[in-house]
Structure 1
Amino acid sequence: MTERNVLGGPLEECGTDPVTGYYRTGSCVPSAGHPGGHSVCVVVSAEFLEHQRQLGNDLVTARPELAFPGLEPGMRWCVMAARWLQSYRAGTAAPVVLAATHERALEVVDRLALLKHAVDVPDDPGPLTGG
């Protein structure tokens, strides 16, 4: 079965430098058991990283035992949909790569919120806006 993105197309790779994804495949294929899971492909910003740190989600400090390199602004990373939504509500949402964001993000995040922060807005955003 082909994994799908929030645009309805095939899920594209989010990032391999560093290798991201719950399964460290470079794609935002979410794990089972978490609504939305690690499904949102973002380009992390300093504001997003700081907000997540304040919430107890330190994405900057390397954790080699978890194959986590620590992030710097500008890197692409798959984040949990619920974590992205926290930052969205606080006004510190990281930019989203729609083509690399798994459709399961929609279990948690509204399509329009993703579109508002997209860095790869399609020519026809109809699938996202319901049009």
Structure 2
Amino acid sequence: MAARSKSLNVFKKPLAVHSLNPVTGFTRSGYCETPRGDVGNHSVAGILTDQFLDFSASRGNDLRSIGLKGGCRWCLCASRWKEALLARKGDNDDVVPRVVLSATNEKALDDIPMEDLRKFAAEE
């Protein structure tokens, strides 16, 4: 079990663990924490899709090279998630990963409006 995070989610509640298999997060704690050294703001608790993996690879970050596949839960850079959001062809476009709001760090709100995160919230 992961040690409890001291970070808060987008609801200003304790941050929920996002994934321990695979172990995600900038610090590989299972949480989407954003310590001082995380210049990418890995704050968005996403559920990967094959379309997003293709999109990310086309932008120079091939997440499949570290063993990720569609369905994996991964802490994403807020800017890459937003880039996918802006590139989508509609609200049902699978290029935008669904978001687990309870595991999404409040720091995501520095780059992404809550309205956009809610629009792509995963059912929990």
Identity %: 38
2:76 to 58, 75, 79: 79
> What residue is the counterpart of 1:52 in the other structure?
56
Post-superposition shift, 1:107? 0.4
1:125 alignment partner in structure 2: none
Regions of 4+ moved over 2 Å: 33-36
Q: When the two structures are aligned, how many residues end up with a matched partner?
A: 114
* C-alpha contact (below 8 Å) 1:35/1:107 kept by paired residues: no
- How far the C-alpha of 1:51 sits from its partner, in A, is 0.6
SS in 2 for 1:42: strand
Any gaps of 5 or more consecutive residues in structure 2?
A: 89-94
Distance 1:61 1:43 in 2: 17
TM-score by length of 2: 0.85
Q: CA RMSD in A?
A: 1.7
> Could you tell me which residue of structure 2 aligns to residue 9 of structure 1?
13
Aligned-partner Cα distance in 1 for 2:70–2:84: 15
Contact in 2 for aligned 1:36/1:106 (Cα 8 Å)? no
Matched with 2:112 is: 109
CA distance in 2, matches of 1:118, 1:100: 11
